[in-house]
Amino acid sequence: MAAKRASEKAKSARVFGQARKPAKMFRAGLYARVSTNDQQTIPLQVRALREYVVRRGWTITLQVKEVGSGASERQLRERLLEAARRREIDVVLVWRLDRWGRSVADLLATLQELEHLGVGFVSLTEALDLTTPAGRAMAGLLAVFAEFERDILRERVRAGLAHARQNGTRLGRPLTAALQTSQVRTLYHAGVSKAEIARRLQIGRTSVGRILG
């Protein structure tokens, strides 16, 4: 009887006649972010992220907590991206997608970079796990939404320019302060870099930085 159980146990360790490979011990980077007025949820996020790591049998290499408002630049997020570039982590774990990305375009850009680096990405709330084939297939949908967002942005910019012309506003360089500020912020929140904004609007990078604060 004992020999039979041992034989069954040995079979269960095989898949289609091949030995089952042990799960990879991923080194995880955790990212928790809240708005300025919602800092009490940081412990909730961190606890959920750490519990997930334990369930997956991973190890925590880096943990980042960030407080900010709206679509402001996620400066501390760069610590995780730098760790990924140095190959110090294997997966980034977040509570929710909007905690990580400023916009769909920004989210897609960072996910594409992580994929290029061979680093996985998991969002608990959306059950998005880019360490699996199904999760990577879902990421393809983000590219569609990002292009949709860019189309909307282009239409808004064109509409803004047309409205300015109708009201006798001189276009080109220099832009009126109000229109310049609006366009810079709109492009930045859509994930466009500061250098690209300066090129598109034909203004100096210093001016872009001053507007964005």
Distance CA 103, CA 72 (A): 10
User: 12 catalytic, yes or no?
Assistant: no
* Contact present, 122 and 129 (Cβ < 8 Å): yes
121's enclosing H/E stretch is: strand 120-123
Residue 77: HSE in the Cβ half-sphere, 13 Å Cα cutoff: 23
Q: Name the active-site residue from 35, 72, 123, 207.
A: 35
Residues forming a β-bridge with 28: 60, 91
- Both tokens of residue 199? 């090129």
Q: Are 122 and 87 in contact (CB under 8 A)?
A: no
List the catalytic residues. Answer: 35
